[in-house]
């Protein structure tokens, strides 16, 4: 259980950064940390005590050993890619905003009326 809690803790740290921090880069990092936390949760859920990587080798062709759960691993791969896509888009937006304002501080940028 403690592992799950640590993953949730990582998620909480990321959420804290996104909600509280006033620097665009810090917010991007918060998003990164949240993504790590979610991937961490998925891989924790997939582990089976004593399990091997879900790759059959020629030696064990006859009797596949106890494997860990391959499905969450496939999900994580997708999730990593989605995270990378999000980060790429965020970084381009940061660059554009920096070009327009000369700062990455949201308290200087946010002049949209609420």
Partner 1 sequence: MDLTLAQLLPLFVAVPLLAAFLIPLVRRVHEQAAEGLSLVAGVALLVLCVQVWGRPAGTCHMGGWQPPFGINLILDGLSKLMVILIAVVSACVIVYALTYMKRYTARGPFYSLLMLMIAGMNGVVLSGDLFNLYVFLEIAAISSYALVAFGTQEEELEAAFKYLVLGGVASSLILFGIALLYSLTGTLNLAHMARILAGGEPNRLVFFVAALFLGGFGLKAALVPFHAWLPDAHPSAPAPISAMLSGLLIKALGVYALVRLFYNVLPLEGASTALIALGILSMVIGVFLAVGQWDFKRLLAYHSISQMGYVLLGIGLGTPLGLAGGLFHLVNHGVFKSLLFLCSGSVERSTGTRNLKELGGLWKPMPVTSATCSVASLSISGVPPFNGFWSKLIIIIATAQAATQLGPVAYVLAAVTVLVSFMTLVSFVKVQKYALFGALPERLARVREASTAMCLSLVLLAVLCIGLGVGSFWALPKLVHPARDAARDRVGYMERVLPAPEIERMVLAGGPADE
Partner 2 sequence: MNAGMTLIVKTTARLVLTFIMVFAAALALYGHVTPGGGFAGGAVAACGLILMLLAFGRLETAKVVGKQGASTWECVGALGFLVIALVGYTAGMFFTNVLPEGETFRLLSAGTVLWSNVAIFVKITAGLFAVYAVLAAFRMAEEPTQEERP
Partner 3 sequence: MVEGLLFAILVFMVLGSIIAVETRDLLSSVIAVGAVGFGLAVVFLILAAPDLAIVQVVVEVLTLIMLLRVVVSRKDETLAHSLRRGAAFAAVAGVAFCTIFLVYGWVCFQDLPAFGEPLMRVSHRYIEQGLAEVNAPNLVTAVLLDYRAYDTLGEATVIFTAIVGALAILRRKGRTTDERGDDADR
* Residues binding partner 2 (CB under 8 A): 53, 55, 58, 61, 77, 81, 84, 88, 91-92, 95, 99
Q: How many CA atoms lie within 13 A of 103 on its CB side?
A: 8
The interface partner of residue 62, options being partner 3, partner 1, partner 2, none and the CB cut-off 5 to 8 Å by kind, is none
Q: At what angle do helices 24-46 and 70-101 cross, to 10 degrees?
A: 180
CA 57 to CA 48: how far, in whole Å? 19
Angle at 29 between CA 25 and CA 33, to 5 degrees: 170
Q: Is the CB of residue 68 less than 8 Å from the CB of residue 51?
A: yes
Residues that bind partner 1 (CB under 8 A): 11, 14-15, 18, 24, 27, 31, 34-35, 37-38, 41-42, 45, 71-72, 75, 78-79, 82, 85-86, 89-90, 93-94, 96-97, 100-101, 109-112, 114
Q: Which is nearer to partner 1, 6 or 18 (CB)?
A: 18
Subset of residues 95 to 114 that bind partner 3, contact rule: CB under 8 A = 95-96, 98, 102-105, 107
């Amino acid at each position: 259980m403690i592992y799950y809690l640590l993953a949730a803790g990582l998620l909480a740290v990321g959420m804290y950064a996104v909600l509280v921090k006033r620097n665009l880069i810090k917010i991007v990092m918060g998003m990164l940390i949240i993504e790590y936390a979610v991937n961490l949760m998925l891989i924790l859920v997939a582990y089976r005590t004593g399990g091997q990587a879900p790759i059959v080798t020629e030696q064990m062709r006859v009797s596949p050993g106890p494997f860990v759960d391959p499905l969450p691993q496939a999900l994580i791969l997708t999730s990593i890619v989605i995270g990378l896509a999000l980060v790429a888009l965020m970084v381009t937006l940061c660059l554009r905003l920096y070009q327009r304002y000369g700062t990455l501080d949201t308290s200087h940028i946010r002049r949209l009326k609420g």
